[in-house]
Structure 1
Amino acid sequence: MVFGILCMLVYARWMSQEEYGGFVLLQVLISLGLSFGELGMDTVTTRFIAGTEDIRERRKIINTGIIFRALSMVLICILIFLFDDNLYQLMGGKVPQLLLLYLPAFLFVEGLLDYYAYILQGLLKFKSLAIINFTYGLTSLILTVILVIPLDMGAHGLVWARLVPNILCLIISIMAVQSGFRFEFDLEWFKRLFKFGLPLYGNKLLAFAYSRADTLVIGYFFGPAEIAIYEFARRIPESIEMLYTSFIEVFFPYITNLFSSKQFERISNMVNHANRLTAFLGGLAVILSFGLGDWFFRVFFSEQYLPSVPPFIALMVVLIFIALDSNMGYTLVAIGEQEKPLFINIIRFGIVLGSYFILIPMFQVVGAVIASLIGLAVVNPLNVFFLRRKQVEVSISAYVKPLFLLSLGLALYFVYESNIIIDLVFLVMFTVISFNSGILRREDLQLFQAEAGKLITRFNRRFSHE
C-alpha cells in the first residue's frame, strides 16, 4: 500500500495525464487477459488444497493447476500475437502500439504468479505471501524512480517497473511452494476443479467487468486524461482493498475449515465480527478522507489532481461495501455455495453497467462511483439471504449501525466547514458513540492493545540487537 502511493507520487509529478492514462488502459488489458485465462481455477485451488492434508493429493492439485494455467496463458498470448492490430484498433489508438507488445509477457508471468499465490493461500503460507508482496512493492518502487525520473522512460519505464518485479516474485513463489513440480496432469482432479470453478469463472469475469468497465467507459467519453484523474482517485481505496485481501487470504481458508466440521455458530460469529469491524474502520477512514482529502492530494499529488478528491471520498464509502461483499461472498464459496456469488454479481453488474452509461456522462468520474455504490447496496441483502439459508446467521445491524452513524457524521460536514479541529471532533465523536453503542467493543481494544504491544516488543528487540 505504502509503496503504491509512493509510486503515485512519481506518476503525478513526472508523467503527463495522457501518458499515464495510456498505461492504465494497458493494465486493464492485462487484467482482462488474466480473467479470461484462469477459468475459475484460482480460488477453487485454494479451497481444495486447504481441504485436504494428503500430501500426494495436494501435489496432484498443484501440478495439474500449474500445467493448465501455463497452457491457457500460452493460448491467450498466441491469440494476442495474431490479432495485435485488431486489438490496437479496438482500443481506439489510446494505448501506444509499442506498449501492446509487452502484453503477452505480462500475461504469462502474472498468470503463473497469481496461481502460485492461490497455492500458497491453500498451504497457509501467509508469511511467504507477505514476503512476496513486500518484494514486489519495494522493487517496483525502486525501478519506477530510476526509470521514470533520471532515465525519463515514461510509460515504458512503468512497464519494466512492473514486469521485472513480477518475474522476481514468481521465482520466490516457486521456491516457497516446495512441492517439487512434476509434469503431472491428473484428469480426475482437473474435472473436479473445473466443475467446481466454472461458476467462479463467470463470477471473476463479472468482477473484472464491474471493476474496470468504468475505466473503459470514461476513456470512451472523455479520453486518457480523465482516466488518469479517476485512477488517482481510486489508487488509495484500491491499495486498502489489496491490504484487505491479506485478511481474506486468512479468512477464507479458516471458514473452509470450520465448514468441514459443520461449526455454523462459529462461522456466523466470525462473519458478523468481520462485518462489524469492517464498517467501523471503514467509517473512520471515510471521515479522515473527507476532512483531509483536499490537503493530501494538494501536497502529495500536485494541484493538477485536485479533481480526483470528490471521487476519492466517494470511493472510500464504496470500499466499505466492497469489503462487506467480500466477507459474505467468500463465506458463501467456503460453505459450498459457489454459484451464489455469480448470481449476485450478474444482478449487480447489470445495475452498475446500466448506471455507468447514465451517470458517467452526467457526473463524469463521480458518476462511476455512484453507480458502483448503487449496485453494491442493492445486492447486499441477497448475500445475507443466501447465507441465512445455509445456517449462517448474518446480523444486518452489525454493519448498518456504524454506517448510519457515519451518514450522520458526514451530514454535519454540510453544516460546518471542514478544518483540522472539526475533523478531529467528528473522529472522536464517531469513536466514542461507536463504543457506547456496542459497535466498538472492549475486546476489540484489548486485541488492538495486544497486537500493538507485540509490534513494539519486536521493534525494541531489533533496536537493542542493533
Structure 2
Amino acid sequence: MKTNIKLAAIITYASVFLGVIISLGSTPFIVSTLGKSEYGLFSLVNSIIAYIVLLDLGFGSAVIRFNAKYISENNSTGQRNINGMFLLLFSAIGLVSLIASVILVFNFSSIFSSLSESELSILKTIFIIAAINVAVSFPLNIFSSIITAYERFVYLKVINLIRVVLSPAMMVLVLLFDFRSTGMVTVALVLNLTIGVINVVFCRTKLNLTVRFTGFDTKLFKEIFSYSSYILLSSIAFQIYTNADPLIIGMFLGATPIAIFAIAAQLNTYILNFSNVLASFYLPKLTKMIVKGADQAALMLELVKIGRIQALIVGYIVSGFVLFGQSFILIWLGPDYKYAYTVALIIIIPQITSIVQSLFATMLEAMNMHRVKAFIYFSVAILKVGLTFWFIRFWGITGCAIATAIGMIINVCLNNVYYKYKLKFDILHFWLQIIRVFIPVVLLAGLSGFLLSFVSITSYVYLGMYVIVYSLLYVLTMWLFGMNAGEKKMIEGPVRKIALRSQA
C-alpha cells in the first residue's frame, strides 16, 4: 500500500501542479473574455452550488469509512447492503437538491438586489445548468468514494489528472466559440457525467462490486447518520469560510468586487490543494489502524510525520507567495487585480496552522470522535459570518478577509485545547516538531525579502529566475536545518535508485 500511496501522491502533485499552471494560463483569457461582471457571476454560482452540495449530509465520508470498515472485516454482505442504501439515499438527495435549486432561482431577484437585470438573467441560466450537474453527481460520487475505500488511489488520481487537463481545455474551446459562461458550466456537466460513468464501470469490472437493495436498515442508518451529521456540520462550516464571502459581497458591493476576491480565493485554493495532498489518502488507513487496535503512540507518530512533511511543503509555497505573489499578480492579470495579493495574504497566512494539522481531522473521523471539532468549527464559522457583515461596511473586501482570518485563529486555538486536554495528545511535542521546520523558513524568507526589495520583477522571465534561485536555497536550507534523518532518508532512497538506474 505504501507504493500505492507514494505513486498516487506523485500523480496528485503532478495533477495539482499541472492544474495550477493550466489555470494560471487560462484565467487571464477567461477573465478578459467574460469581463469582470460575468466572471464575478460565474464565481458567485460556484459559491452557491457549494452550499447545495452540502445536501449530501456528510454521507460522502461515511461511504469511505463504512466500506473501509467492512473491507477490513471481510464482510462482503454488509458492504453490498450498505452501498445499496447509500445509492437510494444519494438518488433522493439529488432530486431534493434540484427542487431546492429551482426554488432558489425564483428568489434571486430579491436576494441579489445589487445585480442588474442582464446580470440576473446570466446568473439564473448558468446556475440551473450547474444545479443539474450537482443533482446527477450525488449518486455517481458514491462510486469514487468506494474506490477510495479500496485505496485504489492511483486510478483515482489518473482520472483526476485527465480531468485537470480536459476541463480547462474544453472551457477555453467553448469560449472561443462564444458560448461564454453558459458553455463553461455545460462542460463541467458533461465531464462529470462521463467520469461518473467510468467510475461505475471500474467498480463493476475491477472491484467486482455488487449493490443489493434489501430494504432500509433503520439501525444501520442511525449509526451512519450519527457519524455523518458531524461531518455535515464541519462541511457547512467549511463552506461558510470559503463561499460565504462572495455571497455577502454580491449583496453589498456588486459583481465586480467578487471578481477581485475570487482571484484571491483562487490563489488560496492552489495553496490548499498543494498542501493537503497527503492527508487526503489517510482516512482508509487510519480507519483500518483503529479497527485493528492501534494505540495513541502509533497514531501520534503518523500525525507528527505527516504534519512535518506538510509543514515543509506549505512553508515553501506560502513563503514563495509572500515574496513573489504581488509581482506575479501584476504580470498575470494587471494592476486592476493588484489588491487580490493583500486579500490573499490575510486569508492564507493564518491557515498555515490548520494545514499542518489537517491529518488530525482525518484521524478524528476515523475514530468517530469528530463531534466536538465539528461544533467548534461551526460555532466559529457563525462568528465569522457576523464579523463579515460588520467589517464589510467599513473595509469592503478586506473586511471579509480579516473576518476569515480571525475565525481561523480562534478555530485552531480551540481545537488544540481539545486535542490536548480531551484526547490527551502531546500537542506541545507536535508543535515543537513543526516549529523546527518553520524557523529556517522564516529566516530564509526574511533575508530573501530584504534582498528582493532592491530589485524590480516585471516579466515572467525574471520572475522565473528568482523563483528558481529561491527554490534551490529553500531545498538547501531545509536539508541542512529543517529536515530530520527520517525525512532525508525518504528523499535519499528514490534519488539513489534513480542514480543506480542511470548508471546501469
1:75-115, Cα deviation, whole Å (9 max, x unpaired): 22123334531244323345522223314312212323443
Match of 1:8 among 9, 21, 27: 27
Q: Mind listing any 5+ residue stretches in structure 2 that lack a counterpart?
A: 1-15, 456-462
Determine the C-alpha separation between the residues in 2 that align with 1:435 and 1:418.
28
Determine the C-alpha separation between the residues in 1 that align with 2:104 and 2:375.
32
Give the fraction of aligned pairs with identical amino acids, expressed as a percent: 17
Hey, what does 1:24 align to over in structure 2? 43
1:199-244, Cα deviation, whole Å (9 max, x unpaired): 2222211221122112222222322211111111221331342344
Displacement of 1:32 in angstroms is 0.8
- For the Cα contact (< 8 Å) 1:311–1:369, is it kept in 2? yes
Displacement of 1:20 in angstroms is 0.6
Displacement of 1:61 in angstroms is 2.0
Q: What code does the residue aligned with 1:443 have? A: G
Q: What is the TM-score of this pair, normalised by structure 1? A: 0.87
Matched, 1:226 2:257: yes
Displacement of 1:277 in angstroms is 2.4
Q: CA 1:152–1:452 in 2, change beyond 3 Å: closer, same or farther?
A: farther
Displacement of 1:48 in angstroms is 1.4
Displacement of 1:369 in angstroms is 3.0
Matched, 1:299 2:340: no
1:443-454 alignment, distance < 5 Å: 443-451=486-494
Match of 1:387 among 419, 431, 438: 419
Q: What code does the residue aligned with 1:215 have? A: P
Please identify, of 414-423 and 90-99, the stretch whose mean Cα deviation from structure 2 is larger: 414-423
Q: What code does the residue aligned with 1:48 have? A: F
Determine the C-alpha separation between the residues in 2 that align with 1:184 and 1:66.
12
Tell me the number of residue pairs that the alignment of Structure 1 and Structure 2 aligns: 456
| Secondary structure, counterpart of 2:369 in structure 1 | coil
Displacement of 1:23 in angstroms is 0.8
1:126-183, Cα deviation, whole Å (9 max, x unpaired): 12211221232222122111101x2122211211221111111111221222223444
Match of 1:311 among 343, 358, 373: 343
Q: CA 1:386–1:319 in 2, change beyond 3 Å: closer, same or farther?
A: closer
Determine the C-alpha separation between the residues in 2 that align with 1:5 and 1:112.
32
Q: What code does the residue aligned with 2:490 have? A: L
Determine the C-alpha separation between the residues in 1 that align with 2:289 and 2:241.
31
Hey, what does 1:163 align to over in structure 2? 189
Q: What code does the residue aligned with 1:222 have? A: L
Q: CA RMSD in A?
A: 3.0
Q: CA 1:157–1:18 in 2, change beyond 3 Å: closer, same or farther?
A: same
1:341-398, Cα deviation, whole Å (9 max, x unpaired): 2122033213422332344444433433333232222222333333343344332222
- For the Cα contact (< 8 Å) 1:409–1:426, is it kept in 2? no
Match of 2:84 among 44, 52, 63: 63
Hey, what does 1:133 align to over in structure 2? 160
Displacement of 1:120 in angstroms is 2.1
Determine the C-alpha separation between the residues in 1 that align with 2:447 and 2:394.
26
1:67-146 alignment, distance < 5 Å: 67-92=88-113, 93=115, 95=120, 96-146=123-173
Hey, what does 1:442 align to over in structure 2? 485
Q: CA 1:265–1:160 in 2, change beyond 3 Å: closer, same or farther?
A: same
- For the Cα contact (< 8 Å) 2:245–2:388, is it kept in 1? yes
Hey, what does 1:237 align to over in structure 2? 268
Matched, 1:248 2:251: no
Displacement of 1:431 in angstroms is 5.6
Hey, what does 1:463 align to over in structure 2? none
1:239-294, Cα deviation, whole Å (9 max, x unpaired): 34234454223122222222222332121011112222222321211221122223
Displacement of 1:51 in angstroms is 1.6
Q: CA 1:137–1:355 in 2, change beyond 3 Å: closer, same or farther?
A: same
| Secondary structure, counterpart of 1:197 in structure 2 | helix
Displacement of 1:457 in angstroms is 9.7
Q: What code does the residue aligned with 1:21 have? A: G
Q: What code does the residue aligned with 1:252 have? A: L
Determine the C-alpha separation between the residues in 2 that align with 1:105 and 1:422.
45
Hey, what does 1:376 align to over in structure 2? 408
Determine the C-alpha separation between the residues in 2 that align with 1:400 and 1:383.
18
Matched, 1:350 2:352: no
Matched, 1:286 2:318: yes
Hey, what does 1:152 align to over in structure 2? 178
Determine the C-alpha separation between the residues in 1 that align with 2:383 and 2:441.
25
Match of 1:211 among 213, 236, 242: 242
Determine the C-alpha separation between the residues in 1 that align with 2:500 and 2:190.
35
Q: What code does the residue aligned with 1:166 have? A: N
Determine the C-alpha separation between the residues in 1 that align with 2:311 and 2:143.
31
